[in-house]
Amino acid sequence: MLVQQGTLFGKFKGFRNQSTMFFFADGSIWRQNENKQFDHVAYMPYARIMNQEGRHYIEVEDVDVSVEVVWVGVSRAIGNLSISHILQTSDS
């Protein structure tokens, strides 16, 4: 079942580990909830959050792999300097 869809904010670099964050342009923030690595670079790709048997998974445009995610919250700082800081921190 579709939970959310839209554009991811900024540069998508693929999937890494449980500290990888996904920021939707509407301010929604999701965190990767499993250690699964997959490299793919795209700028502001379309993505969907799907609910399957009580768990949430992110599906990103042109990526054949999905990973489990958990909802973190909503930020009203999209486009602000504070979101840039969050994005830089999550790249580490």
pLDDT tens digits, one per residue of 1-44: 999 999 999 999 999 999 999 999 988 999 999 999 999 999 99
| pLDDT score at 31 | 97
Give the residue from 30, 76, 77 showing the smallest Cα distance to 50.
30
| pLDDT score at 78 | 54
Q: Domain count of the chain?
A: 1
Average pLDDT for the chain: 87
Q: 24 versus 77: which is more confidently predicted?
A: 24
* Segments forming the whole domain that contains residue 22: 2-91
| pLDDT score at 88 | 45
> Nearest-5° angle of CA 49, CA 37, CA 11?
60
| pLDDT score at 74 | 87
- Residues 22, 32: Cα–Cα separation, whole Å: 8
